Amino acid sequence: MAAQTEPRRWLVPFWSQGAKPFEGTVDGTAFRVLTRREPYSFFGFSRTRNAGRPVVVGRFEPAPGGCHVRGHMRLPLFILIFMPVFFTLWMGTFGAAVWNGAFGEDRLVILFPCAIIVFIYTMWTTTFWQMAGRAKVALTAALAR
């Protein structure tokens, strides 16, 4: 696993793809890795959403004839903090505008930000589970070596 992991870099040039499938830390008993950043296209867009890359945290446990790998995946800490703050500010701002009559008497306008939140939440969870599936395949391949 350590041979398949490079150190985490905060500033990565857009032309850098990395040679290993993971970035993070691996020691003798535990690991904390992310899948490698996806390369960017000519226009600067990633083929996948890099912010949705799952953080894989796990540990190696001794077992007869080898070891067991136990772990879990989660969203990056920045996303776990940012999304609730974003949703709160979005709903608070729009709710205050509706409450103060900015949209007249039509109070059903509040359904618009609710729909936006459902859309964004669905987009993030779909992206996360898609990338978690990729991470699981890459992790299984790295541990099989």
Q: For residue 22, give the nearest of 3, 43, 42, 48 by alpha carbon.
A: 3
pTM of the entire predicted model: 0.70
Tell me the Cα Rg of the chain.
20
CA distances from 29 to 22, 58, 60, 65, 69 (A): 17, 9, 5, 17, 10
CA pseudo-torsion sign 72, 74, 140, 19: negative
Instruction: Give the tokens for residue 75.
Output: 């969203």
Q: Cα angle vertex 82, ends 80, 14, to 5°?
A: 95
Per-residue pLDDT of the chain (145 residues; tens, 9 = 90+): 788 888 877 666 655 666 778 888 999 899 999 887 665 555 555 555 566 788 999 999 988 988 888 999 988 888 888 888 888 888 888 777 777 777 677 767 777 777 888 888 888 788 888 888 888 888 888 887 7
pLDDT at residue 12 in the model = 61
